[in-house]
Chain A
Amino acid sequence: MAAPKVAVVGAGVIGLSTALCIAETCPSCSVTVLSDQFSPNTTSDVAAGMLIPHTYPGTPIHMQKQWFKETFNYLFAISNSTEASEAGIHLVSGWQVFKNTPKEELPFWSDVVLGFRSMSEAELQKFPQHQFGQAFTTLKCDCPPYLLWLEKRLKATGIQICTRKVADLWELHSEYNVVVNCAGIGAQQLVGDEKLFPVRGQVLKVHAPWVKNFIRDGDGLTYIYPGIHRVTLGGTREKENWSLSPDPGTTKDIFHRCCSLEPSLWGAQDIEVKVGLRPSRQSVRLEREVLSQGGVKLPVVHNYGHGAGGFSVHRGTAKEAARLVGECIAALQGSSLRPRL
């Protein structure tokens, strides 16, 4: 096979980073990104992009840690380079605070982020309703900048990016040798995965440039994440809620919760409300599948279902997906060498 043709469906952080990894590991591949939505209209654009992992109940911890570590190290290098501001990658320090001391005091990722330690009594005084806390420094991927930077890197490698709504993966079988499914929440319709469900998140993006530290309540519901130009205030985690319309009552509730964590936010200006549907699953679906109809086969690599943890593991899962694409291509090339009888 001269130049294997690979289609990547989806242009959120997973689709774009997967396409980039495929280009890096398979330079002879001709890669095309197909999506009906691009930045700033993807789920990734709503997310704050904080590298604080979500724990997938169905994935072995050592694998989640590996994915996170790879992602962290990759972004760490970018944050330290001249490209940092264009890529939207920056370091941010802050606190995760708990109203009740958690059972598990050390999360699996505590030695990957920087300077992880328990908060001192003096630091906790700033959070009178919270008894325990952790301080650390991590990375943030601001979107749209990060997605736009990925698109730029992709175009530089010659990858085509096309607007197209793919209704069925099979429709690509005649044009492409391998299809990579990074459709996020769209995978529910695209491949009929009943294990995939939305977890609706509403956030506020506000102008509050004096907020330099992140604050996250350990319950995961209230968080303050300072980005380059805006601070993301969150949030909600509403299972099976498909609504993309902002709810005004929720807006007020989020704002109040965040102001009680950080009173200076009462002075925040220019509140923008956004909604995203986290593509949630017990485990990330990261595996090969072969679709076949009438003797024709189409190898597929699935890479979706990252839920609340997309940014935290995107590079690690993209690399694994690229490796699986390599396996698919090798299998295709192997079978094409078999003598026809």
Chain B
Amino acid sequence: MRVAIIGAGVIGLSTALCIHKQYHGLVPSLEMEVYADRYTPHTTSDGAAGLWQPYLSDHGNLQETLWNKETFEYLLGLLGSAAAKEMGLFLISGYNLFTQPVPDPSWKNIALGFRNLTPKELELFPGYSYGWFNTALMLECRSYLPWLTNRLTQRGVKFFHKKVESFQEMFAQGVDVVINCTGVRAGELQPDPELQPGRGQVIKVLAPWVKHFIITHDIKSGIYNSPYVIPGSEFTVLGGICQHGNWSEENSAQDHKTIWENCCRLLPALREAKIVQEWSGLRPARPRVRLERETLRHGHFQAEVIHNYGHGGFGITIHWGCAMAAARLFGSILQEKKLASPPQPRL
């Protein structure tokens, strides 16, 4: 049974690991391969700060809220382990700021210690009159992706540096199941008008005195179009750009100015911070995550694809719940193959 994962961002690698862990024992002939044209540190996941935080509203999409919860609980359980540091996993507390009261988010009971901000705390953030405080997790992909890669390599999973042009190409090679984790470029393998880039730009600075994440929200401009400051283990990420439909991965001077001025207004001490790097990436935005099976038929052959893409700006937040759901879909494929294939007559 040959399984090919296309895409080596957080979704591709975690789905690969989840499936391999669950089914390697059950399917002795399981051969797994990862194909990608970009590997860490050049994936979209690598540019993200790595903060676990779902969007403000799940738009009634309880499935996604459940996957976010599963991811949080999975990561929380790993916090005390020896792997945590190598994974780039740690706890972090911080602030979400609003200019008006908003309903509590779907994740208020998933994160730790969620509460509203007190008037004294709001004094820290002139211009914001309402907010939340909670403790969440950071999962830095520049550590997590290498960690996943190591776990997979130890398990005998093979990696190929290659741009896959079509699903057909995989099946022609003898792959039985393709897991499509191609993120923002999934449309190149199969057109998907619902998938659009949500272009982001970030400035990475040295500001080690910042110990909290600060995410501001402007209901009018939309998610991630309002300044945010997220301290990592080495750098602090300044952001606040989300341009729907913009495919450019070039850093924009205008966006730099927007981010810098807005973040320095939010945290005046940032003016003293040294700028280390600038990066742009494309969030794979979609009204909802595409996580489903698709059976592709070519003549006599029937090939299976599991799609797992379109995680927008919450890929890290939701990744493990999705990986497990993809693994369940894989399990159902295995079930069907066992039931459906009678012993082949020998010719």
A120 within 8 A of B: yes
Mark contacts of B131-153 with chain A using CB atoms, 8 A cut-off: 1 yes-contact digit, 0 otherwise.
00101001000000000000000
Among B81, B93, B210, point to the contact of A213 (Cβ < 8 A): B93
Cα of A92 to Cα of B93 in the assembled complex, Å: 9
- Complex interface residues of chain A between 140 and 193 (CB less than 8 A to chain B): 142
The reply to whether B92 and A213 contact each other, CB–CB distance below 8 Å, is yes
Chain B residue nearest in CB terms to A84: B269
Q: Is B208 an interface residue (CB 8 A)?
A: yes
Number of A-B contacts (CB under 8 A): 99
- Contact present for A264 and B84 (CB under 8 Å): yes
CB distance from B68 to the nearest CB of A (A): 15
Q: Which of A88, A115, A213, A267 touches B209 (beta carbons < 8 Å)?
A: A88
Q: Do A123 and B135 have beta carbons less than 8 Å apart? A: yes
Q: In this complex, what residue of B is CB-closest to A81?
A: B268
A209 to B112, CA, bound (A): 21
16 A/B residue pairs, CB under 8 Å, sorted by A: A79-B269, A91-B211, A115-B118, A126-B79, A209-B208, A209-B233, A209-B234, A210-B88, A212-B90, A212-B212, A213-B93, A226-B211, A263-B79, A263-B81, A263-B82, A264-B85
Q: Write the chain B residue with the least CB distance to A78.
A: B269
Number of interface residues of A (CB under 8 A): 37
Chain B interface extent, by class: 35 or more
B84 and A85 contact, CB distance less than 8 A: no
Interface class of chain B by DSSP: mixed
Known: A86-B272, A122-B113, A264-B80. 17 other contacts (CB 8 A): A85-B269, A90-B211, A91-B211, A92-B211, A93-B135, A122-B112, A137-B121, A210-B138, A210-B233, A213-B93, A226-B211, A229-B208, A263-B81, A264-B84, A264-B85, A264-B90, A266-B85
Partner among A91, A211, A263 whose Cβ is within 8 Å of the Cβ of B212: A91
Q: In whole Å, how far is A82's beta carbon from the nearest beta carbon of chain B?
A: 4
Check A210–B85 contact: CB distance below 8 A.
Answer: yes
User: Min CB distance, A183 to chain B, in Å?
Assistant: 30
Residue from the list A114, A213, A226 in contact with B120, Cβ < 8 A = A114
A107 to B107, CA, bound (A): 31
B205 CB to nearest chain A CB (Å): 11
Residues B82 and A266 in contact, CB atoms below 8 Å apart: yes
Chain A: which residue is nearest B272 at the CB level?
A85
Query: Which B residues, 298 to 327, have Cβ-Cβ distances below 8 Å to chain A?
Result: none
Do residues B234 and A115 form an inter-chain contact, with CB atoms below 8 A?
A: no
In the complex, residue of chain B having the shortest beta-carbon distance to the beta carbon of A112:
B120
Q: Residue of A at shortest CB range from B234?
A: A209
- Whether B113 and A85, one on each chain, are in contact in the complex, defined by CB atoms closer than 8 angstroms, is no
**Residues 251-278 of B at the A interface (beta carbon under 8 Å):** 268-269, 271-273
Say yes or no for A228: interface residue by CB 8 A criterion: yes
**Could you tell me the distance in whole angstroms from the C-beta of B239 to the nearest C-beta in chain A?**
18
Q: Which residue of B lies closest to A114 (CB)?
A: B121
B73-98 interface code vs A (CB 8 A; 1 in, 0 out):
00000011110111010111100000
